[in-house]
Amino acid sequence: DVKVTQSSRYLVKRTGEKVFLECVQDMDHENMFWYRQDPGLGLRLIYFSYDVKMKEKGDIPEGYSVSREKKERFSLILESASTNQTSMYLCASSLPRDSSGNTIYFGEGSWLTVV
């Protein structure tokens, strides 16, 4: 079974702090994604990566950056956290580039509260 593991389930950070959300997948998937989930808005894509050191902006990249130094690991970075970034963050992975018909596998999510 594919496993996508997010390092922290619940985090509380202060405004202005730098925040790292870590994600690891164990199935050698090329594609990795970071989504943000908010009530009534569904899932919105922040960034995705289809290869090591490659990244592409999603629909809401402002205030976020990402890092993919190894194939299995995809990190989301909030350079200076703000209260409007309080949300549930979902990491996901899938098989190769251009294969949008492939299943996306999700982690369990990281609940981030910025105070």
Partner 1 sequence: AQSVTQLDSQVPVFEEAPVELRCNYSSSVSVYLFWYVQYPNQGLQLLLKYLSGSTLVKGINGFEAEFNKSQTSFHLRKPSVHISDTAEYFCAAGGYQKVTFGTGTKLQVIP
Residue 107: CB minimum distance to partner 1, A:
5
Pairing status of strand 110-114 against strand 10-13: parallel
Q: Does 45 bind partner 1 (CB under 8 A)?
A: yes
- Taking residue 69's Cβ as centre, other Cβ atoms within 10 Å add up to 9
Residues 78, 18: contact at Cβ < 8 Å? yes
Q: Using the minimum distance from each CB to partner 1, give the nearer residue, 51 or 79.
A: 51
Q: Mark 71-110 with x for binding to partner 1 (rule: CB under 8 A) and - for no binding.
A: -------------------x-x----xx-xx-xx-xxxx-
Q: Which of 26, 28, 56, 79 binds partner 1 (CB under 8 A)?
A: 56
Q: Using the minimum distance from each CB to partner 1, give the nearer residue, 80 or 113.
A: 113
Residue 82: CB minimum distance to partner 1, A:
23
Query: In terms of Cα–Cα distance, which of 59, 98, 74, 62 is closest to 26?
Result: 74
Which residues have CB under 8 Å from 111's CB, separation 6+? 9, 10, 11, 88
**φ and ψ at residue 84, rounded to 5 degrees:** -75, 5
Which residues are near partner 1 by CB under 8 A?
Answer: 4, 31, 35, 40-45, 48, 50, 56, 58, 90, 92, 97-98, 100-101, 103-104, 106-109
